[in-house]
Structure 1
Amino acid sequence: MPLFDIAEPETDGWDAWLAHAEALTAAGDPRGEAIRLEHLCETGDGDRARLAAAYAEVERRLGLEGLRGDGSWRFTWTRGFLDEASFRPAEDTRPHRRALVERLLADLPHTTPADPADPEQGEGALIDALLSHPAARRLRTLALHLTDYHRSAEHAAVALGARERPRLERLYFGYDFQYLFEDGASSTGSPINPLDFQGRGLVQTDFWDALPALRTLELEGAFLFHSVRHETLTRLRTRGSVISDGSLFGLGPTPGLESLTIDIGTDVFGCSCSIDQLDELDASQFPHLRELDLTRAEFDTTPHELLSVLADSPILPQLERLSLGALPGDAVTELAPRFAHLHLRVDGADHGAP
């Protein structure tokens, strides 16, 4: 898009950004006025209503007003670029989505073709339209709550990985469910069987290299990725069995991880997670892990055995915080001394080191 031909400053200092705003205004880019008004609001002399109106004009000029009106995307602006964005398909505008998808495919850049006549491809097209837009290259936080995940997960991954996103620090990627491995329902009401993706994964495209600033990641669902490969990711929360081979801790190379939260309950078949999964908690894979939260993790064993396995785990000496769900008091009393070096929290109650 010609409006993005003027490179933005590499510094966060306002002097450079105000000079950038002047250059944008001279070039006829409405983002210049929005940036100027944003600066006034930050210094206490601005009018929030005028700023909102300025960014509404930016959205109109950039072809993003349709995405705003659809309601599936919610996003904020900072210094002429999208800053925070969250996607969750809006139900009330679904009857008009085909026309919107047709306009987006005709008017805006996109990474992957989509068929507007197929309602289950519309979700991916909406995600692609925003992530492929030049205004999204400075996104700082992104949440993708999927419904047609059998189609849109890969579509979103391709769009995410198509260009580097140097400021993206926080990402949520996944879909809602009550019981793990239960059939989902697409936007057309068709069943989606997550077990169809066991071994092959919902996502084939590796986009981790495009997110160098990523520090916090939340994944939710079943068999989303083959692996999570990121050198500097520090916080990870998973809900479900997000790796395609069913592994909880065999995530892939994440050497910078400091905090790991595992949320996995009894699945739709009435089965709990195998205690053998804890064997993959290896210090060589997680050399910097300091906090492990298993509060919402259910294993197919007794509470006493769970504590015993954790007490013998090679990862234990390096942990500073360990959180578990409800356990009988006698098991905690008996084995608590083996956790004396760390902050142990059981069902919300603190034990051991502060």
Structure 2
Amino acid sequence: MIDERAILESAIEQEPDRIDNYLVLADVLTAAGDPRGELTVIMHRDDPVLADRRRELMDADRGSIFRETGDPVEMTWRLGWPQAATLDLSVARHRLQLAALLDHPASRFLAELHVTIATTGDDDTLPGSNLDEVLEVLARRPRPLLRSLSIVQREIGGGSHAPGWLTVPDVECGHEPDALWPCIPKVERLRASGGPMFHALIGPALRTLVVEGAPFCDHGDWEAPQLASLDARCDLHELATLCGRELPALRDLTVRGVSFDPDSMFAYAEIGAVVRALDRLRVPVSFIAGHGGDLEAAIERHVDDLEHLATLVITGVEPASIHGAVGVDTLPNLTLLP
């Protein structure tokens, strides 16, 4: 017997932006008495007259998910299905909530997932405090439609413990891809915040990467051929490490933080090579001039490295320098911000 629902769900996974497949699936679900079919049609029509019914169906759907996860999950819907989910495990500290969310039938077409994780110093006894366990939950539940993934670590206790990387035991760094990457092959946006999470970065569809802290091993391989935008909160050494990767498509770089290095970022060949291939650069003044250095003199020294940029924004500039329009005559593409 042909399983029409399974065929349509597979078709949606192949073409998630094709609305017709959702509507045909809605007919099948409605015929089977599944209220998600009605919700799909109502959301597609977007008729204000049906707003109360839409809210009623969404509340019922939300309630069924909460009964499984045990705690509220912040969610948004698209065409009758949860589209994005935000789960704060730094409060509940229970990885089973994440597993319950991903195992719920409603999460099949989830496109965005945002998870906050508690790290607890030297205390590994709290459920969910081990990052590896949370990553393992993700790795065991492939998400072929996931487009955006955010993993943020929040420290809630003292101690020096840092979570380990999820990989095959006894394999040296960089020799074995992390277990998560094959499960999220279509992720286009990744945010990784906190301590060590991954040996490598394998993102064939990745276009935007937000990095805070040091979530990647210094020596792991990167395969991100489409990565066009990098937003990094880091120091100068960490920026040089990031720029030492293969980043053939990178055109937009935003750097946040403060450098206490007396040298500018151009003292690092890796950074200079990346900057010369960019279209847009946003960077703190200390990265351009060095800690305590003279911005105008630094711009004069590095004008050849910066003049090709379509947009150059330097942040953390003293108000007097902004009012004096330091460097604007030299670099018309320059914007100075406090």
Q: 1:163 to 1:70 in 2, by over 3 A?
A: closer
User: CA contact under 8 A between 2:186 and 2:204: conserved in structure 1?
Assistant: no
Partner of 1:19: 24
Partner of 2:306: 339
Q: How does 1:61-100 map to 2 (within 5 A)?
A: 63-66=64-67, 70-71=71-72, 73-89=73-89
Q: CA separation in 1, counterparts of 2:314 and 2:229?
A: 17
Q: 1:334 to 1:31 in 2, by over 3 A?
A: same
Superimposed CA distance per residue, residues 90-126 of structure 1 (whole angstroms, 9 cap, x where no aligned partner): 85xx6xxxxxxxxxxxxxxxxxxxxxxxxx5xx2011
Q: 1:320 to 1:28 in 2, by over 3 A?
A: same
Q: CA separation in 1, counterparts of 2:138 and 2:109?
A: 12
Amino acid at match of 1:344: L
Partner of 2:224: 254
> Which residues of structure 2 form unaligned runs of 5+?
169-177, 287-293, 317-321, 334-338
Q: How does 1:38-117 map to 2 (within 5 A)?
A: 38-41=43-46, 44=47, 46-60=49-63, 63-66=64-67, 70-71=71-72, 73-89=73-89
Partner of 1:174: 152
User: CA contact under 8 A between 1:38 and 1:46: conserved in structure 2?
Assistant: no
Q: CA separation in 2, counterparts of 1:33 and 1:207?
A: 35
RMSD of Structure 2 on Structure 1 (CA): 3.3
- TM-score of the aligned structures, taking structure 1 as reference length: 0.70
Deviation at 1:300, TM superposition (A): 4.5
Q: 1:203 to 1:128 in 2, by over 3 A?
A: farther
Identical positions, percent: 23
Q: CA separation in 2, counterparts of 1:46 and 1:161?
A: 42
Q: SS state of the match for residue 172, structure 1? A: strand
- TM-score of the aligned structures, taking structure 2 as reference length: 0.73
Partner of 2:165: 201
Deviation at 1:238, TM superposition (A): 0.5
Q: CA separation in 1, counterparts of 2:259 and 2:221?
A: 18
> Which one of the candidate residues 231, 237, 243 is aligned to 1:281?
243
Q: SS state of the match for residue 225, structure 1? A: coil
Q: 1:321 to 1:16 in 2, by over 3 A?
A: closer
Q: CA separation in 2, counterparts of 1:251 and 1:341?
A: 29
User: CA contact under 8 A between 1:311 and 1:338: conserved in structure 2?
Assistant: no
Deviation at 1:159, TM superposition (A): 2.7
Amino acid at match of 1:293: T
Q: 1:75 to 1:334 in 2, by over 3 A?
A: same
Q: CA separation in 1, counterparts of 2:312 and 2:220?
A: 24
Deviation at 1:326, TM superposition (A): 2.4
Q: 1:290 to 1:208 in 2, by over 3 A?
A: same
> Which residues of structure 1 form unaligned runs of 5+?
95-119, 177-183, 266-272
- 1:226 equivalent to 2:226? Answer no
Amino acid at match of 2:31: A
Partner of 1:31: 36
Partner of 1:131: 102
> Which one of the candidate residues 309, 318, 325 is aligned to 2:277?
318
Partner of 1:153: 131
Q: CA separation in 1, counterparts of 2:69 and 2:271?
A: 52
User: CA contact under 8 A between 1:128 and 1:155: conserved in structure 2?
Assistant: no
Amino acid at match of 1:278: A
Q: SS state of the match for residue 32, structure 1? A: helix
Partner of 1:263: 233
Deviation at 1:54, TM superposition (A): 1.2
Superimposed CA distance per residue, residues 119-169 of structure 1 (whole angstroms, 9 cap, x where no aligned partner): x5xx20111110122221211111001125764533332232234323211
Superimposed CA distance per residue, residues 307-348 of structure 1 (whole angstroms, 9 cap, x where no aligned partner): 443697332331212221124322223323331111322117
Superimposed CA distance per residue, residues 273-319 of structure 1 (whole angstroms, 9 cap, x where no aligned partner): 537x616624x7111111222232x34421x5334436973323312
Q: CA separation in 2, counterparts of 1:321 and 1:158?
A: 36
Q: SS state of the match for residue 223, structure 2? A: coil
Amino acid at match of 2:237: S
